[in-house]
């Protein structure tokens, strides 16, 4: 199979990735202290680690404040699941496995040791008992688009959190890298005697208590300019109107209730990632803090906050904008942020006119995935986080998506690559490493009971960048499965198979 790099971009594609790959490998070979430089960097640094370059004031919030649509950048894109038991052969290399010899980089003759070592090692590594009975796999050379290895590549399997690659890519495809999520306040003077300030949720799970305090202060100043000193407070979560109030996994430390208004993803501790106790009503908590901060800013707040839809035509008061979407996507992938993934998936559904139910989310993500040129015939998307066991992806879909993200003609997708955790260094791969893989393997993890997955990129010792997807169901335990996946990914670098020339015949 060939994963196409579109048209005239193919030559530029090879040149771009050759330079990136060779530079990364050269840095690793030069000194161990520079290993981190092989990670996902954009012009020397991750985009999520840069200060936002564009002031929020420059965005024109021209949408109807009650509609929850038309946020900055909207409409203007640059344009974890038990797998069903499957019959199959016993242990040992699968009869379904196909290894294509590693092709040359830009015409250079490949080292024979790499080809023979991979041919001998990869099927056996994937036959590890820790990966269950028949894992699926696909490995693609991103310099040529050629598939180098395939084992049940079109088998639909539970992807767990590797589905976040889909969520990230489709959000970027829909909105572009600079799009931001807006939380706003509007003034409802609906003739009740006391004006009402409505806090309108905008799907931003990264909203913090200091952000809310600043929003309240800005709102108080806007009210003072209008000589308004006393208000009631309402909160609008209608952006998710008609949606499920919880993810199908129910009350769970891995995800908060589904609402468009929350602070710190509803976390009740000081954590910023991973499982944590969650608020039962994050929206009510957020508006309570807002009302208290508004009062502290000098506005008299009458009564307790109540749910209230912002009316069409309500006067805008203030807003808070999230970091750019490129940064949000990196956060989703590096930290495996379930809450933000579900928020962005619903954001895409709203933009495409789909309901924000899980069914609508699946339809929207599938539509955009197909629009990216990915075969969705064996794909079933049911949420944005991968926590729902009913979801299905194929290895081919994942490597195809990574190839699209590497396409020079799709710069808006690049955060899908820059956000990938680095083996042994960052995010969900910080504590995971295999000989030869540290700093060269960058991948999204996926973990549910009985399901383990890994999909991302590696830098090979000859300078090529490879995309891979390993999906395993029916795994007996996470520790063995993760170790097996890490070994397989590290093998793709060539380093885990011995020093260069070590396997050459005498």
Q: Please give the Cα distance from 237 to 218 (Å, whole number).
A: 21
Beta-bridge mates of residue 45:
42
SS3 of 134-179: CCEEEEEECCCCEEEEEECCCCCECCHHHHHHHHHHHHHHHHCCCC
What would the two tokens of residue 472 be? 């395993």
Report the half-sphere exposure of 125 (CA within 13 A, side-chain side).
23
Selection from 238, 261, 281 nearest residue 183 by Cα: 261
Selection from 283, 142, 297, 271 nearest residue 213 by Cα: 297
Out of 138, 161, 385, 455, which one is annotated catalytic?
Answer: 161
Out of 260, 336, 385, 423, which one is annotated catalytic?
Answer: 336
**Is residue 273 among the annotated active site residues?**
no
Q: Residue-wise over 261-273: b if at least 16 C-beta within 10 A, else e?
A: bbbbbbbeeeeee
Selection from 460, 454, 419, 420 nearest residue 437 by Cα: 460
Which residues lie below 8 Å from residue 210, measured CB to CB, with a gap of 6+?
A: none
Instruction: Count CB neighbours of 439 within 10 A.
Output: 23
Out of 94, 138, 164, 322, which one is annotated catalytic?
Answer: 164
Q: Please give the Cα distance from 417 to 20 (Å, whole number).
A: 12
Q: How far is CA 404 from CA 370, 371, 394, 414, 415, in A?
A: 12, 11, 16, 9, 12
Q: Please give the Cα distance from 216 to 298 (Å, whole number).
A: 10
Selection from 393, 361, 367, 398 nearest residue 380 by Cα: 393
The dihedral formed by the CA atoms of 7, 10, 12 and 14, expressed in degrees to the nearest 10: 170
**Is residue 322 among the annotated active site residues?**
no
**Is residue 444 among the annotated active site residues?**
no
The structure tokens 């009350």 sit at: 251
Active-site positions?
161, 164, 336
């Amino acid at each position: 199979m060939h994963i196409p790099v579109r048209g005239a971009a193919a030559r530029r594609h090879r040149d771009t990735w050759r330079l990136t790959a060779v530079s990364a490998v050269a840095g690793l070979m030069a000194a161990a202290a520079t290993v981190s430089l092989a990670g996902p960097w954009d012009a020397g640094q991750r985009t999520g680690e840069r200060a936002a370059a564009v002031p929020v004031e420059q965005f024109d919030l021209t949408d109807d404040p009650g509609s929850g649509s038309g946020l900055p950048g909207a409409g203007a894109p640059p344009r974890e699941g038990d797998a069903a038991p499957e019959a199959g052969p016993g242990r040992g290399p699968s009869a379904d496995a196909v290894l294509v010899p590693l092709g040359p980089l830009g015409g250079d003759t490949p080292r024979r040791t790499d080809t023979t070592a991979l041919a001998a090692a990869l099927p056996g590594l994937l036959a590890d008992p820790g990966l269950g009975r028949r894992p699926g796999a696909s490995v693609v050379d991103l310099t040529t688009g050629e598939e180098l290895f395939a084992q049940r590549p079109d088998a639909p399997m539970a992807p767990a959190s590797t589905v976040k690659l889909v969520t990230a890519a489709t959000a970027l495809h829909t909105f572009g890298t600079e799009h931001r999520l807006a939380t706003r306040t509007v003034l409802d003077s609906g003739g009740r005697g006391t004006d009402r300030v409505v806090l309108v949720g905008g799907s931003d799970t990264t909203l913090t208590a200091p952000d809310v305090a600043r929003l309240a202060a800005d709102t108080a100043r806007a009210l003072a300019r209008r000589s308004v000193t006393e208000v009631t407070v309402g909160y609008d979560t209608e952006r998710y109107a008609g949606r499920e109030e919880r993810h199908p996994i129910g009350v769970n430390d891995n995800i908060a209730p589904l609402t468009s208004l929350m602070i710190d993803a509803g976390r009740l501790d000081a954590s910023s990632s991973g499982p944590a106790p969650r608020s039962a009503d994050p929206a009510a908590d957020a508006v309570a803090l807002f009302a208290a901060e508004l009062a502290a800013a000098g506005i008299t707040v009458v009564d307790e906050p109540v749910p209230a839809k912002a009316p069409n035509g309500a006067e805008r008061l203030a807003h808070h904008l999230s970091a750019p979407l490129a940064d949000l996507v990196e956060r989703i992938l590096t930290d495996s942020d379930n809450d933000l993934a579900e928020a962005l998936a619903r954001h895409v559904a709203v933009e495409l006119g789909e309901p924000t139910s899980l069914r609508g989310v699946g339809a929207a993500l599938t539509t955009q995935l197909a629009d990216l040129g990915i075969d969705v015939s064996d794909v079933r998307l049911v949420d944005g986080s991968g926590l729902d066991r009913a979801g299905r992806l194929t290895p081919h879909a994942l490597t195809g998506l990574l190839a699209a993200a590497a396409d020079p003609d799709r710069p808006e997708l690049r955060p899908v690559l820059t956000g990938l955790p680095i083996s042994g260094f960052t995010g969900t791969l910080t504590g995971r490493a295999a000989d030869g893989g540290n700093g060269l393997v960058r991948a999204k993890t996926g973990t549910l009971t009985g399901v383990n997955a890994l999909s991302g990129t590696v830098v090979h010792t000859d300078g090529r960048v490879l995309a891979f997807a390993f999906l395993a169901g029916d795994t007996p335990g996470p520790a063995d499965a993760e170790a097996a996946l890490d070994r397989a990914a590290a093998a793709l670098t060539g380093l885990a198979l011995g020093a260069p020339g070590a396997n050459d015949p005498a």
